[in-house]
C-alpha cells in the first residue's frame, strides 16, 4: 500500500478524480448495531481548514452535540507524516505539539509555522504525531489519511471518514442526547429536493473547486471551470427565490454548500483559479452565507486564518513559498446584517403570480 493524498488522484487527461472514502460504518439505534449512539463514546478528529471536516463541526454545533461528541482539531499546515523515513514522501495532517519547534513547508520553504495554535491540540488518546498514525492503528488498508475521522473510543477504531455519512448520523442518531433534538436537518418533505441539489452541487461546486485547482491540463481546467460557473449561476437563481437551497428550511444540503462558499473568495477564487465568479460580487449568495454564518454556533466553526494557512502553505507544487494573500476581510462582511428574512415573503408573492425577484432585479437595472 502506498500512502497518498487527494493531489495524487489524477486522471490520464490531467483531471482531478477524487476517490470515495474507505471507512463507511454507521452509528445506528438498531438493536444489532455494532456502533450504537452513546454520549461520550465517540470522538471527532477534524481540521478547521477542511470543508469536509467542518461539515461535521457545523452539524454538531447546530444540533447541540458539543457535550456528547468531543473534538480534536489538527494543525492546518501539512507536514511529512513519517519524517524519520526519507523514502516516505507522504504529507498530511499532524497534531499540535506545544513543545515542538517552528517548521516550514514540506520542501523547507515558507513560514515558519508554529507547532501549536489556539484551538489545536495533541492527540488526547495515543499521543499520535499524525492522523496517519490513527488510521494505521485502526488497520487501514486504503492509504488516504483524511479528516474528518469519527473515532469509537470503546472499540478503538474508525467508524467513518465520510463527512456526508457522519452529518446524517449526527442529525438522526443522537437526538436523545442533543440540545436541539427537534431540529430536523433532513426533513421528509424536502429529501427528494435535497438529493436533487446535492447531485449537482457536489461535483460542480464542492468538488468543482478542487477540479479547477488540481487540474493539470488546460482542457481539464476549462471543463471544470465551465461546470462550476454554470452551477454558481444556478445557485444564484435558486437562492433568489428560496431562502435555503432545498426550500424554506435549513438542511444538511445548506451545510454542505456553506462550507465551500465561505472559503470561495479567500481561497478558491485565487488559489484554485475559480475567478469567473465571486461571492462578494453576488449579493444573493453573500447574504445567504451571512445568514448561515450568523446562526448560533456556526461562526465558531469558521477559522479563516487556519483555512488560508492550510491551502496556501500545504501544497508547495501550487504555492512554492507558502505566501498567504491578505484578502479583503471577507469574514468581516459576514458579520453585517443579511436580508434573507425577506425571501419567504418575496417567494410567496412570486408563487401568487404577482411578483418575482428576477423581475425586480431586471427593473432596477
Q: How far apart are alpha carbons 38 and 319 in whole angstroms?
A: 43
Q: How far apart are alpha carbons 140 and 137 in whole angstroms?
A: 8
Cβ contact 144:17 at 8 Å: no
CA 51-57-62 angle, 5° bins: 125
CA 225-299-145 angle, 5° bins: 60
One of 50, 103, 221, 288 is an active-site residue; which one?
A: 50
Q: Which residues on adjacent β-strands are paired with residue 70?
A: 43
302, 308, 314, 316: CA torsion to nearest 10:
160
Burial 291-329 (b: 16+ CB within 10 A, else e): bbbeeebbbebbbbebbbbbbbbbbbeebeebeeeeeee
Cβ contact 303:119 at 8 Å: yes
Other Cβ atoms less than 10 A from the Cβ of 26: the count is: 17
Other Cβ atoms less than 10 A from the Cβ of 212: the count is: 26
The helix/strand/coil state of 103 is: strand
Instruction: Quote the strand ranges of 8-156, DSSP E.
Output: 42-46, 70-73, 79-80, 91-92, 149-152
One of 210, 221, 271, 312 is an active-site residue; which one?
A: 210
Q: How far apart are alpha carbons 227 and 269 in whole angstroms?
A: 15
Known catalytic residue: 210? yes
The set of catalytic residues is 50, 210
Amino acid at each position: 500500500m502506498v500512502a497518498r493524498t487527494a493531489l495524487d488522484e489524477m486522471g490520464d487527461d490531467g483531471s482531478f478524480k477524487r476517490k470515495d472514502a474507505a471507512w463507511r460504518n454507521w452509528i445506528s439505534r438498531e438493536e444489532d448495531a455494532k456502533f450504537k449512539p452513546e454520549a461520550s463514546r465517540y470522538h471527532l478528529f477534524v481540521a478547521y481548514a477542511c470543508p469536509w471536516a467542518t461539515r461535521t463541526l457545523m452539524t454538531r454545533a447546530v444540533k447541540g452535540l458539543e457535550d456528547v461528541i468531543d473534538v480534536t482539531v489538527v494543525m492546518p499546515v501539512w507536514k511529512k507524516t513519517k519524517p524519520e523515513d526519507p523514502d516516505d514522501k507522504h504529507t498530511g495532517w499532524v497534531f499540535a505539539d506545544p513543545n515542538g519547534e517552528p517548521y516550514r513547508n514540506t520542501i523547507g520553504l515558507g513560514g515558519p509555522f508554529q507547532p501549536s495554535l489556539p484551538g489545536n491540540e495533541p492527540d488526547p488518546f495515543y499521543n499520535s504525531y499524525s492522523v496517519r498514525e490513527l488510521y494505521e492503528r485502526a488497520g487501514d488498508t486504503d492509504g488516504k489519511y483524511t479528516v474528518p475521522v469519527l473515532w469509537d473510543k470503546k472499540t478503538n477504531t474508525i467508524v467513518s471518514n465520510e463527512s456526508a455519512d457522519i452529518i446524517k448520523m449526527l442529525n438522526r442518531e443522537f437526538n436523545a442526547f442533543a440540545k436541539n433534538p427537534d431540529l430536523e436537518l433532513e426533513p421528509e418533505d424536502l429529501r427528494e429536493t435535497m438529493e436533487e441539489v446535492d447531485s449537482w452541487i457536489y461535483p460542480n461546486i464542492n468538488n468543482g473547486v478542487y477540479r479547477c485547482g488540481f487540474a493539470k491540463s488546460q482542457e481539464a481546467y476549462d471543463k471544470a471551470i465551465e461546470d462550476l460557473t454554470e452551477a454558481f449561476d444556478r445557485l444564484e437563481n435558486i437562492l433568489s427565490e428560496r431562502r435555503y437551497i432545498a426550500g424554506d428550511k435549513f438542511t444538511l444540503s445548506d451545510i454542505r454548500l456553506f462550507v465551500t462558499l465561505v472559503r470561495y473568495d479567500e481561497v478558491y477564487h485565487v488559489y484554485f483559479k475559480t475567478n469567473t465568479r465571486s461571492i462578494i460580487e453576488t449579493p444573493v449568495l453573500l447574504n445567504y452565507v451571512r445568514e448561515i454564518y450568523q446562526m448560533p454556533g456556526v461562526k465558531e466553526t469558521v477559522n479563516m486564518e487556519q483555512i488560508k494557512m492550510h491551502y496556501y502553505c500545504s501544497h508547495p507544487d501550487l504555492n512554492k513559498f507558502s505566501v498567504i494573500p491578505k484578502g479583503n476581510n471577507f469574514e468581516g462582511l459576514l458579520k453585517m446584517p443579511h436580508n434573507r428574512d425577506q425571501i419567504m415573503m418575496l417567494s410567496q408573492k412570486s408563487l401568487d403570480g404577482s411578483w418575482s425577484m428576477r423581475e425586480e432585479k431586471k427593473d432596477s437595472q
